[in-house]
């Protein structure tokens, strides 16, 4: 049985408590590894190692050398592409075709992108006159690392979203302690081998495994040696972390839940809109924070759209990750499937029309133990129904007709969340107008999941605090110090 260890100060270590937990395949339900849980002692050791590296070789490393080192990290991930791909697919169950084109390439690229960016970010400079004697004074800004950063990352895009935080944190000169999801611990641990192979000083990158309350997650976010906390995950977890961060007034950057709306106008390119909404609702088995679970379609094309999306859902092949024809993998776990199925039942109880899906598919014997579920579409629910209000995080959506642009905007904004939206129309003026009125961090027009990594990414309302991406990431991972010089 494979062991997944904590990575602290450049070494792999088990927990002093001796506790382990099973990491199960979402595809078969079999135990694929035993993960060693970090206790308070391991978390403290990781934070102390991060502090020592910050005060030592990493903190004194010139920026060009640090950037070159992060380029080597990216190259080494790509050299070991198959190892990372195998680990990611084993943990998540997602199709190889998806992970090989998105998760691993982007996971590696995050190091190069931010290493290059930090070398070219300007600050500011102001010349003034000293009112006391008329002498010249120069003020200029200097970016300095924030310090030791706690990185709490999710299970849906484990490597990509973890390096989306670790990349800019290290580029800016910080050190990190990563707490990956207990569901997907392997690639975070594997990255320690890459760090050592590339010569990253011990303590710069650390990984502690475990759960949230009374485990590694709580121990890390409450640790007084942590200077900032970045988190992607559920809003309820973010709320708990924010309370922990209040002690010591630590900075936080949160990307949290979403109940994202897709708006399809009658003048949209119909085929592209159907394909786009299908992808937004079902890719990665619906386990994407940016996914579309609420779809609003202008009434003249409503019935046609529902029928077309139904056909798309039913055409998805549910199967093993290794099958190149697989379009839908399993959910992350049986526990999560129980949650999603509870919403499937609730939709029926609240009067939904089940257009397609609504249950568990029949699978071959070899896959019968996996967390499989059917892609599901509903119509006919009221705007206050649970599946319209609450994030499900599964391959499902509710479709509702609308009659006017104003109604579509009102419906899209009728949520506690504000992460993303997607608008489908060929009317350019309408596209700009509607996108600008939806209370979200990112609004796509005639596209979905299309990202320029230089742009701001984050959520409004209960979907998050702060922004990541480009210089916006650098703003969180650095402190801007003003230097005032009397000339």
Residues designated as active site? 255, 289
Helix (H, G, I), strand (E, B) or coil at 154: coil
What angle in degrees, to the nearest 10, is found between the helix axes of 302-315 and 270-282? 50
- 396: helix, coil or strand? strand
The closest alpha carbon to 202, from 4, 11, 5, belongs to 11
CA–CA separation, 294 vs 350, rounded Å? 16
Query: Phi and psi of 274, rounded to 5°?
Result: -60, -45
Strands of the sheet containing 125-129, edge to edge, are 125-129, 136-145, 478-486
Helix H or strand E segment including 409: helix 405-413
- The C-alpha atoms of residue 369 and residue 365 are separated, in whole angstroms, by 8
| Sheet of strand 2-4, all strands in order from the earlier edge strand to the far edge | 2-4, 31-36, 20-24
Pairing of strands 6-8, 125-129: unpaired
- Yes or no: say if 379 and 294 are a contact pair by the CB < 8 Å rule: no
* Paired strand residues for 331: none
- Residue 250 burial by Cβ neighbours in a 10 Å radius (0-12, 13-18, 19+): buried
Neighbours of 266 (CB within 10 A): 15
């Amino acid at each position: 049985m494979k062991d997944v260890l904590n990575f602290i100060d450049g070494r792999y270590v088990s927990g002093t408590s001796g506790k382990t937990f099973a990491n199960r395949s979402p595809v078969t339900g079999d135990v694929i590894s035993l993960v060693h849980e970090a206790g308070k002692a391991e978390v403290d050791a990781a934070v102390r190692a991060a502090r020592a590296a910050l005060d030592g070789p990493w903190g004194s490393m010139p920026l060009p050398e640090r950037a070159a080192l992060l380029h080597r990290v990216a190259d080494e991930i790509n050299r070991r592409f198959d190892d990372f791909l195998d680990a990611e697919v084993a943990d998540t169950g997602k199709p190889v075709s998806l992970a090989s084109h998105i998760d691993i390439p982007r996971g590696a690229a995050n190091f190069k992108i931010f290493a290059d960016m930090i070398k070219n970010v300007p600050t500011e400079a102001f010349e003034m006159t000293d009112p006391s004697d008329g002498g010249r004074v120069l003020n200029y800004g200097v970016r300095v690392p924030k310090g030791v950063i706690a990185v709490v990352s999710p299970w849906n895009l484990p490597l990509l979203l973890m390096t989306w935080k670790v990349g800019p944190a290290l580029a800016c000169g910080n050190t990190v302690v990563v707490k990956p999801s207990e569901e997907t611990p392997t690639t975070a641990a594997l990255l320690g081998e890459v760090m050592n192979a590339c010569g990253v000083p011990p303590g710069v990158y650390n990984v502690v495994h475990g759960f949230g309350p009374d485990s590694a997650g709580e121990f890390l976010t409450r640790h007084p040696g942590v200077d900032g906390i970045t988190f992607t995950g559920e809003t309820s977890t973010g709320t708990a972390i924010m309370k922990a961060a209040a002690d010591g007034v630590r900075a936080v950057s949160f990307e949290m839940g979403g109940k994202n709306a897709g708006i399809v106008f009658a003048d949209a390119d119909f085929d592209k809109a159907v394909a786009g909404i299908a992808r937004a609702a079902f890719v990665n088995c619906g386990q994407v924070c940016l996914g579309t679970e609420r779809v609003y379609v202008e009434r003249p094309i409503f019935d046609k759209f529902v029928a077309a999306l139904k056909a798309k859902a039913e055409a998805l092949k549910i199967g093993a990750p290794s099958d190149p024809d697989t379009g839908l993998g399993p959910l992350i776990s049986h526990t999560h499937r129980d949650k999603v199925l509870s919403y499937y039942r609730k939709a029926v109880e609240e009067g939904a029309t089940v257009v397609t899906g609504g249950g568990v598919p029949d699978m071959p014997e070899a896959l019968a133990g996996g967390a499989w579920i059917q892609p599901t579409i509903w119509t006919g629910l009221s705007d206050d129904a649970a599946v319209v209000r609450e994030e499900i995080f599964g391959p499902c959506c509710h479709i509702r007709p609308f009659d006017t642009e104003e109604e579509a905007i009102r419906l899209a904004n009728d949520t506690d969340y504000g992460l993303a939206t997607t608008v489908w129309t060929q009317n350019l003026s309408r596209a700009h107008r509607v996108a600008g009125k939806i209370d979200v961090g990112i609004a796509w027009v005639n596209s979905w999941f299309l990202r320029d990594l230089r742009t701001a990414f984050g959520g409004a309302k209960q979907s998050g605090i702060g922004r990541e991406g480009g210089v916006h990431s650098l703003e969180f991972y650095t402190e801007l110090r003003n230097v005032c010089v009397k000339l």
